[in-house]
Amino acid sequence: MLGIVSYGFYIPQYRIKIEEIAKVWGKNPEEIKKSLLIEEKAVSSSDEDSLTMGFESASFALNNFFDKKEKIGAIFFGSESPSYAVNPSSTILGEFLGVGNHYLASDLQFACKAATGGIITALSLIKAKQLEYALVCASDKAQSRPHDLLEYTASSGAVSLILGEKEVAVEVIDWHSFSSDTPDFWRRDGIRYPSHGGRFTGKPSYFFHIKQASISLLKKTGYKPKDFQYAIFHMPNGKFPQEIALDLGFEKKQIEKGLTVSYLGNSYTASALMGLVSVLAEAKKDDLIFFCSYGSGAGSDAFVLKTTASIEKVRQPFDKAIKDKRYIDYSTYLRFMGTI
């Protein structure tokens, strides 16, 4: 059995409401909320970046794994907002976590699906008996150009998973990836803010890749949408994951718990995984979970997951972190983002 042995997450305390951003630009907040299905988003402070948030989430994951942390044989750090352009976050994370020095370290990039690529790599190494445990961290302090549509959605957060084949809490039954050269979202070296292809990011990008990866995995495993208790898809906004879920044959009740984007925003690499940890806060033994990430550029990684009896030992309270929040105004938001 291969899968998640422990997990942790970090959600910044600060939030900004859609109304606060909209009023600065003279926009109708109700129209924006109706279009994106987002009410507010999480904002990291000026002294928080992807590395510090990653450390918080990984430390959380180690609470249930502290006595075995030196058995971690790989650390994969997935992010599109790394602290350094040249200098790995994975080794800094390993140093501060105190896992020793005998581990494979690698920083991964693939827009919002870098971490799920790390999960597949880690599980493959574990299955091949090359290592016993691996830590995969997804963390982003998402940036957006002021007055860009992304400003209403781009948020911050981190999720860390410890993977192994002993005392597995969430089994990875199977996976499938689908990739192509579809540049719907990009950021050139030295350019501060990302660019995107507007409506081009939808049908030929997000929907096409998630649908192909999902259909292929369902066909491969023989499962039907009705077999799953939960379904989670990458969340660039509130509309897209609902549309693709219904198109694939899932029902609204299967995706509701994982739709964290409406109150946290899109934390990029951590986005879909944030939906997963929300689901794990209530999932019961033997629940089947369908999970599919998406990364611009473009590609999707789809997974069939199943909870075990060990989920009770590692379950983390998600709602408490959601309720622990402080609202900020737009000028404070710009300061936290380093814009001013």
- Is the pLDDT confidence value at 164 over 70? yes
- Strand-pairing partners, residue 141, are 156
Please give the mean pLDDT across all residues of the chain: 95
22: pLDDT strictly greater than 90: yes
Bond into 231 cis (ω within 30): no
Beta strand segments in 125-235, E: 133-141, 156-164, 170-182, 185-186, 195-196, 230-233
> Over pLDDT 70: what percentage of the chain?
99
Residue-wise pLDDT for 62-97, tens only, equals 998 888 999 999 999 999 999 999 999 999 999 999
| Residue 179 structure tokens | 């990739």
Average of per-residue pLDDT across 288-295: 98
Q: Which CA distances in Å does 41 have to 21, 36, 176, 241, 317?
A: 11, 12, 30, 17, 19
pLDDT score for 190: 82
Note whether 3-169+315-336 and 171-308 share their fold: yes
Domain 171-308 sits in CATH at: 3.40.47.10
- pLDDT confidence of 199, banded at 50, 70, 90? low
Q: How confident is the model at residue 197 (pLDDT cuts 50, 70, 90)?
A: confident
Q: Residues 174-200: what's their mean pLDDT? A: 84
Among residues 338, 88, 296, which one has the least CA distance to residue 187? 296
Q: Please check the confidence at residue 298 and state whether its pLDDT lies above 70.
A: yes
β strands within the chain, DSSP E: 3-10, 14-17, 40-43, 72-78, 104-108, 133-141, 156-164, 170-182, 185-186, 195-196, 230-233, 288-292, 297-307, 326-327
Q: What does the pLDDT read at residue 191?
A: 80
Mean pLDDT across the stretch 102-120? 97
CA distance 166 to 125: 14
Q: What pLDDT score does 2 carry?
A: 98
Active site residues: 80, 112, 234
- Residue 191 or 217, more confident: 217
Cα–Cα separations (whole angstroms), residue 339 to 41, 123, 148, 177, 330: 17, 39, 14, 36, 11
Residue with tokens 């380093």: 338
Q: At what angle do helices 271-280 and 114-127 cross, to 10 degrees?
A: 60
Q: What is the pLDDT of residues 223-277, one digit of tens each?
A: 999 999 999 999 999 999 999 999 999 999 999 999 999 999 999 999 999 999 9
Q: For tokens 């983390």, name the residue.
A: 316
For the domain bounded by 3-169+315-336, which CATH number is listed? 3.40.47.10
Integer angstrom CA distances of residue 8 from 31, 81, 235, 249, 308 = 35, 20, 19, 30, 17
Measured CA distances, 82 to 19, 140, 194, 240 (Å)? 29, 8, 14, 26
Reported confidence tier of residue 184, pLDDT bands at 50, 70, 90: confident
- Is 87 exposed, middle or buried (CB count within 10 Å of its CB: 0-12, 13-18, 19+)? exposed
- Say how far apart CA 339 and CA 331 lie, in whole Å: 9
The pTM score is 0.96
Domain spans, the chain: 3-169+315-336, 171-308
Closest to 119 measured CA to CA, from 210, 5, 264: 5
Is pLDDT at 214 greater than 80 in this prediction? yes
